[in-house]
Chains A and B, each alone.
Chain A
């Protein structure tokens, strides 16, 4: 008892440090602290936005004032003081024409993150839009994409250059009235990415956005909008990091996806915001609204997420399956350690006939963390012959954490089939012993087993991400297992 090696190893592996917590010293351009209509005027003016955009923001802001922060999630945190946040922070140098003009510090940041904005990426064929704090700093490969008619640019540019598309689609999937954080984002969002794939185009590159919160006391409120026209395909990747800070920082993003007839959008996330330290100090509060609309028949939206960061994660990437035969997928690995709390899952709303959805969720809890899966499967009366299959597994590492499962299943169509399964377990002594017996130490064994456990989801990630995600899983849990 006194020297149980299993317990020690667990302690060790659950005490790994955040490897991305460096802070970049860049000159910033800030909005005054706090949130009033003036703040919104300030942001809109900074971004030289047209009047309709300002009005949209103000409408959202006024609505936000009428709302209360949601309380239903299995999350506990000190109240957020929305007046103590800086809602806009931009690296000062802007309007970059070439890579040479990018702040060298910034480039260094991306290098540390393992992302390079320069030609390296050509090799992997990934087009990157990087958003630091609130502003998009660089989008690569615009030309290549342009040839295929693909628009991939920062949200601000899109507002300027493609106002008709933004007006048509912004808020069409996640309305500003949707929830507290969606309203907040709609009022104060600073930048983000916009992506448009025209008819019959299979996007030749993986598109990617990197988000980083850098400046202190700032919130990041980005918005992503992806529109896939008929018969098009795009795979989109999102990565996020933030430096170590003692205070909690707020991140409230919106992602909207529209898929028209026969279109397919694959959205992958590796979320690694700063999770706070071992004692639960600091870390990002991550409240995100992500939703895809399968508007056309036979369309498909697939969410894959690896969630390792943030002090608090509140996130339910969802699919509204409107078109007949449309398909929604959600693959998730969520790891929590120390004092992290995650309440994450998905919603699959079946409206069209023969719609299909699949949910695979793997939760891993360690330390003193709490990890909840929360998911809704709703079959509306007209969604004949619809199918859902959900599998939500939880793995507990140690006896101080919590793993919870809250599925909501609502069915109102008698020709549809919904199946939900879930299990909760720990890594068995037998598995560990088997590995030990084959010469693998316990730390490595846990890494192996956890990766094996998450494999089904990791396999869904694009190649570029899969390796990184595996590393992150290992780092989050133990620091050395690879």
Chain B
């Protein structure tokens, strides 16, 4: 988009640069966790500068938890198949304030989808762009904006909701996020409001150093409201980053929440995405987690069905290759009677890619008439691709219908022959079958423009043409091109 500053050449792969390597070695002596604890103790004033007292108290408690427990490691049962140490033992830069230059990126990066009219919120390197613009109020009453600003304006909402879902006991990522997070997105949908427009959060990472980024999102849907959120994680350079996002969502009575997560990061990056959703009676949630690229991605999705007749659809698709790794941990808790949940994750693994699926359905004693379904299907394309699938059920109510399944296999050989008998080449037959495999998830995206767009991305991904979101200015995944991205300072 803006090549005017492209005279500064960027090394596409950090590990190719001997100088960077040397610096890394020097820095390596401080692993991430220690650096964060140290920062918390020495810059407490900065960290808590915008807090309301309740949040400060929460930070202290969370930090205590983090000090005694640290980051999870692969010796923890829940992290056994994801070697998170490869990230947490690295050293990263962590900023407590936005850098001056980071202001407006909307002109530089647009993840737009044709015919898909969205409100766009951008976060650059973890900071709400246009942070000082205050909160935005839409004509229908929806309020959104930077988390820090919202905290100042709506302390009562924060006292009521903030930090209640994201249990700091879950793991060190949640506790350190609670302790130190500085920015993120706040969205409030008033009672009875039906949001026509999807809000799209675009998170970009672009920094010439290894960056640790934390975000915290708080989303509140009032009674009888309806709202769709699209959450895109993209990186636009080749530097490794570690993003630690915690999102809390309250879905009020009879409210309907749609969540689309699109993950398209470079192979050096790590993403820890923890989403906590609380559902009141008669509410619905439809969550789609679409993972197309990323070095190491961990999605924790916790859904509490707290009111009767609530329903959750939790869907996911992962298409991984090279040595990418994705780990989906889905915890659905049926705490009230007559709730239904439907969980389906599908994945195709190529090259040396690996994936973990751990679905956990918990049905509490009083959650009678629960109907829960859980399924995970995988296709392995190469001898080196691996999958760990753990579809768990823990059930304490008797009048329930719960079932789950998991399959691991390859493309249907019968179908392959059938197609070839009709003259279709093996490679096309493979593509068709892989595409068909994904269709079950894609077809459930209810916003048509978005469905088409994702459909298109999947096709490209399967053909090997998509490494990052193609609208992204950088195309940093294509090996044959050198892309450069510099923020145009003159626009600020």
Contact = CB atoms under 8 A, between A and B. Distances in A.
A426 B392 contact: no
Given A422-B405, A424-B402, A414 B410 contact: yes
B403 A422 contact: yes
B395 A409 contact: no
Nearest to B378: A411
B471 interface: no
Contact of B388 (A381, A408, A425): A408
Contact of A399 (B368, B386, B407): B368
Interface in B382-417: 382-410
A416 B408 CA distance: 8
B398 A426 contact: yes
Nearest to A366: B398
B393 A424 contact: yes
A431 interface: no
A72 interface: yes
A398 B396 CA distance: 10
A414 B380 contact: yes
Interface in A392-425: 394, 396-425
Interface string B67-84: 000000000010000000
Nearest to B357: A409
B398 A399 contact: yes
A450 to B, nearest CB: 14
B387 A411 contact: yes
A264 B158 CA distance: 66
Interface string A418-447: 111111111000000000000000000000
Given A398-B398, A420-B391, A425-B401, A407 B408 contact: no
Contact of A405 (B77, B386, B392): B392
B407 A420 contact: yes
A421 B402 CA distance: 11
Contact of B406 (A379, A402, A418): A418
Pick the most buried of A406, A409, A415: most chain B CB atoms within 10 A of its CB: A409
Interface residues of A, number: 36
A411 B400 contact: no
B10 interface: no
B105 interface: no
A423 B406 contact: no
B142 interface: no
A418 B407 contact: yes
Given A404-B394, A409-B388, A414-B382, A422 B399 contact: no
A396 B398 contact: yes
B381 interface: yes
B408 A411 contact: yes
Contacts of A396: 395, 397-398, 400
Q: B-side binding surface: helix, strand, loop or mixed?
A: strand
Interface residues of B, number: 35
Given A412-B386, A415-B410, A402 B396 contact: yes
Contacts of B378: 411
B420 interface: no
Contacts of A404: 392-395
B352 to A, nearest CB: 10
A417 B409 contact: yes
A432 to B, nearest CB: 13
Q: Which of B365, B378, B406 has the most CB of A within 10 A?
A: B406
A146 to B, nearest CB: 48
A412 B402 CA distance: 28
A406 B400 contact: no
Interface string A342-384: 0000000000000000000000000000000000000101000
Nearest to A427: B398
Nearest to B370: A424
A405 B372 CA distance: 13
A414 B382 CA distance: 6
Contacts of B77: 72
Interface string A64-77: 00000000101000
A412 B383 CA distance: 7
A405 B362 CA distance: 11
B393 A405 contact: yes
Given A419-B407, A420-B405, A423-B403, A397 B387 contact: no
B409 A423 contact: no
B392 to A, nearest CB: 5
A420 B396 CA distance: 22
A400 B368 CA distance: 12
A415 B381 CA distance: 9
* Residue with the highest number of chain B CB atoms closer than 10 Å, among A397, A399, A414, A421: A414
A403 B365 CA distance: 11
B337 to A, nearest CB: 11
Interface in B45-87: 77
Nearest to B407: A419
A410 B358 CA distance: 12
Contact of B399 (A415, A417, A426): A426
Given A404-B392, A404-B395, A409 B408 contact: yes
5 contacts: A394-B393, A405-B391, A408-B389, A409-B388, A421-B403
Given A414-B381, A424-B393, A425-B401, 7 more contacts: A394-B393, A405-B391, A409-B406, A411-B389, A413-B380, A420-B389, A423-B403
Interface of B: 77, 365, 368, 378, 380-410
